[in-house]
Structures are given as C-alpha cells and as structure tokens.
Amino acid sequence: MKYSSEEEQQLFLKILDPRVSDDPYGFVMFNFPWGVDNTPLANHDGPRKWQRAQLLQIRDTIYENRERINQGQEPAMLKDATSSGRGIGKSTMVAWLSLWNMSCNIGSTTIVTANTETQLKTRTWAELGKWHSLAINGHWFDRSALSLRPTKWFAELVKDQLSIDSGYYYSQAQLWSEDSPDSFAGVHNPHGLLLIFDESSNIPKPIWTVSEGFYTEPVLHRYWLTYSNPRRNTGSFFECFHLQRDIWVHRNIDSRTVEGTDKKVLNDIIKTYGLDSDEARVEVLGQFPNESESQFIARDLVQRAQQRELNVDEASPLIMGVDVARKGRNAGIVRFRRGRDARSYPRMRIKGKDNMQFAYRVAELIDKYEPDAVCIDTGNGTGVIDRLRELRYRIVEVAFGGSSTRRDCHNKRASMWADARDWLDHGCIDESQELADDLIGPMYTFAGPDGDQYLLEAKEHMEKRGLSSPDDGDAFALCFAVKVAARNIPSLSFRPPVVVARDIDYSVLT
C-alpha cells in the first residue's frame, strides 16, 4: 500500500463515488495532477476539448443506461468511432479509458489492440505506462509489458469487500492474427467490458467480426471504442462512418482545431499537397481518402455548396422530397428545396412502425410548410402515397427506374441525381455529414443502346462496398423530380383536417 489503511479506504470510496466512477471526465480530473508543480502536467489544466466531449459522451451513456435499468429495460451498448488527423492525443484517451475502467468498474475487463504489434507495444501501451505512473491510484495495479492487473493486496481487498474475484479483472494489450481470428475472442464479464481499437483503419474485418461476440450479455458497462487516421475508404473502420453510421457514434476531427497540435506542420502538409489531397485529408482533416474516377458527384462540389453564402428566394417553388424507409430501416428522410436554397428548411428523419404512421407525419409536414410539390419514390412509398391520397393530398409519384428526363441518363433516378449535381454548382445545402457522404458515395457506369447514358450505382452494391444506403441523398434528389411554378394561393387548401390517432407513436429527429 502507498497510504495507510484508512487513507486507502478513503481513496477507494472517493473513486467509487458515482460522481467519479460514472463520469470518466470527473475521474480524469480527479486522478491526475493537473497544474501541479514539478509534474509533467504542471502547465496543463485538463483534457483537450474533443477528449472532454468524448468522456462526457460516455458519462451520458452511463446515466441513460442506469435510467433504462430503473425502468426495467436492458442497457444499451456504446459503439464509438473517432477519425482524425495526426497528433490529437488518441493514445492518451486510450490510456485514460483503460485506467478509468480498471479503477471505477471493479472486476471489469479491458482489451486494447492496434493495427500492428509495434504500434501496440511501443506507442499505445507505452502511453498507458506514462499515465499509470501519474495516477493517484496507480499503486493499485501492477503493469507488465502487455497487461495491467490489480496488485495482490488490492485484489484481496476487492475480494474481501466486494466479493469479486480478480480472474477476469485486467487491462490487456492483445495481439491478433488475421489467419486465426478466433484467437482474439474475448471473455464474457458481468462487471463490464471495454474494447479499444487503436489505429484501427488497418485492422481486418475478421477481427471486427469476432469482436461482436464480446457483447452478447446486456450488462451495464459495454463499450467498443475505435480510433484511427482514416487511411482507407474501405474496411470496417470506414463502415463505422458509412454503412453502420446509424449504430456508431462517430466524429471526424481536424487536427488544426485541436489544442496543442503543431499548426505549422499541419499547414505545411496542406500547402505542399493541397487542401483536398489525400495527404491533407488523412493526416490533417481526419477525412477518408478522395473519390475514385467513377464517382458521380465530386467532393469539392458538395463542399462548395455547403460553404456558399445563401440568398433566399421566396418567389421560387418549394419542393418536398420524401424517401420512405425501406424494410429493415428504422427511419425515412424528408428534405426541401426552394430555388437555390436547400439549407433553410430542416432535414427530417421520420421514425414510425408502419406506413400509416409515416403518412400521418408527412401530412403534418405538408400542412406546416405548404410545399408546391411533394415527391415520393414509388419503390418503398406506395403505401404512404395511397394513404396520403385517401386524405386528399396531391402527391407526385416518382419511379426511380422510370424514364429519364435527360438524354444522358438511363433512368429517372440518374436524371434526378444529375440535375442535383448540376444544381450544386450554384445551390446551397446544409453541413450535414450524412448528406455529404450520401452525395459523394454513389459511383456510376454507362448503359443504354449506345452505352452513353449514366446509370447510378444500386444501393445494394453500395452496401457491399461498406457504404450506407444513400437515403438522405435520394430524398434530396427527389427535390429535382419535377419542375413546378410557385403558386400564389396556399398549397392544397381544399384538404379536410387530418386527424392523427392518439395511440400512434412516432417521432421526428431534426
């Protein structure tokens, strides 16, 4: 022991106080000597802003899960992915979270891996060693080359006071083999499990797949955190931001926005290679590499539309595009465009259990915004269209596979996306990352009798590449399905009032 028995007991109680144990940020502030003279942290007052935000995200997850348990529900697992440029302090976060899980979730298991053995041993675990030596309770644990385990006296204390055996109570740097992914299989621990992938862009899919089996038990503390520079636009890390973006909390961090990074080095990369080069995107911006030659909409076209100054044109018609949720999807998308403005009206995600709920919510939005045209895809939206027409709303049916309105496009979907692409050169869109990803995601081939018509990549093929179905992009493209003049009278004013059943449960997330 470092302190007397009484002092150790007090330290034990302070760290297990929910104000510390349920708050990783509170733990980091309590456990390390911030601003203390003659320590490496003498000139530091706490985590960087992005680190604090992620620590608080975990705290909020714990609070929400405790509330779910109180209501008789199962706690939710947190999947959290961070893509960034270089030097933002990812390995430091890994060290803090490992020490927090060991200190505050007594008996839990922490597994840390990285893209290479060298990265794991010389960087990730070396950083853990640095913070372990600074921790106020560092003497609770013994560190070896690849593990952190409770000291003998602390293990006995835990067993005596909490009746917890220390057999699965450790933090371990675990190597992996793509040829033998089952050797990476983890444990099932009722006290909690924290799995961390550091520099994970090059960790192969079989390791990600076997890791899913770590979390089959609905315990309170279940966390899967992954960090990397975004070096590949394929693979499981890429999918966290695309195909699986609805189930991962995800963030992209520009290294220039982070305190303590060398801005000159970062700006020199941009100066040398260009802001939209793959070198700048990966090493500085925390964005995935650029598009391929067959990408239908270029990234810089989307970025300019996001940054362009908005001039509102109230005289232009308001078009509403509705992409109805496909089977297996939990939300559909609604977008609006008025002339060159697709920014002022908020994007809507409509969540509902069936077509009736969806139709009622679309009806409310029509009543609220009074669009001059409402365009809905017939592929998944037939039931919604039928119900809205029963309620006497005018709806424009859009068949994505139908005839094109452009000579250079093979079908209606391609022609809408082509019109949207042309419009982006002078229009304004919001800064939604989901919309940007959807717009730059699809590739194209050529079809038609002469092989000279654009054919947009099918959603199913995009999902095979690890991209999310571009539902947001399709809703936006539907705003180009028809050409219509604005009306001077309130839209669809002849409709009878819409009565929404009180027992219908739906929600809209902006």
The residues, any chain, with a CB within 8 Å of residue 267's CB and separated by 6 or more, are 256
Q: Is 337 left (phi over 0), alpha (psi -120 to 50) or beta?
A: beta
Amino acid at position 43, single letter:
N
| Predicted structure pTM score | 0.69
Q: Among 3.30.9.100, 3.40.50.150, 3.40.50.300, 3.10.110.10, what is the CATH number of 5-253?
A: 3.40.50.300
Report the alpha-carbon distance of residue 459 to residue 467 in Å, rounded: 9
Beta bridge partners of 222: 193
Assess contact for 71 and 81: CB atoms under 8 A.
no
Q: Dihedrals φ, ψ of 106, to 5°? A: -55, 130
Buried b (16+ CB within 10 A) or exposed e, 430-449: bebebbbbbbbbbbbeeeee
109-114 and 507-509: which strand pairing? unpaired
- What confidence score (pLDDT) does residue 355 get? 85
DSSP secondary structure of 441-482: S-BEEEESTTS-EEEEPPHHHHHHTTPPP-HHHHHHHHTTS-
Task: Write the Ramachandran bin of 308: left for phi over 0, alpha for psi from -120 to 50, otherwise beta.
Answer: beta
Please report, for residues 17, 82, 241, the alpha-carbon distance to residue 149 in angstroms, rounded to integers and kept in the order given. 22, 27, 34
Q: Where are the domains of the chain?
A: 5-253, 307-509
Structure tokens at 283: 């090493």
How far CA 296 is from CA of 246, 350, 463, in Å, comes to 24, 27, 16
The DSSP result for 484-508, as a single string, is -PPPSS-TTTTPPPPPPPTT---EE
Positions in the chain whose pLDDT score sits under 70? 1, 186, 291-293, 327-330, 352-353, 486-510
The alpha carbon of 159 is separated from its chain's Cα centroid by a whole number of angstroms, namely: 39
The helix or strand, by DSSP H or E, that contains position 382, with its residue range, turns out to be helix 378-390
pLDDT for 154: 92
Please state, in angstroms and rounded to a whole number, the distance separating the CA atoms of residues 152 and 87. Answer: 37
pLDDT of residue 198: 92
Report the amino acid identity of residue 251. Answer: R
- Position 116 scores a pLDDT of 82
Residues composing the chain: 510
Q: List the beta bridge partners of residue 359.
A: none
> Per CATH, the architecture of 307-509 is what?
2-Layer Sandwich (3.30)
- pLDDT for 503: 35
Strands 249-253 and 348-351: unpaired
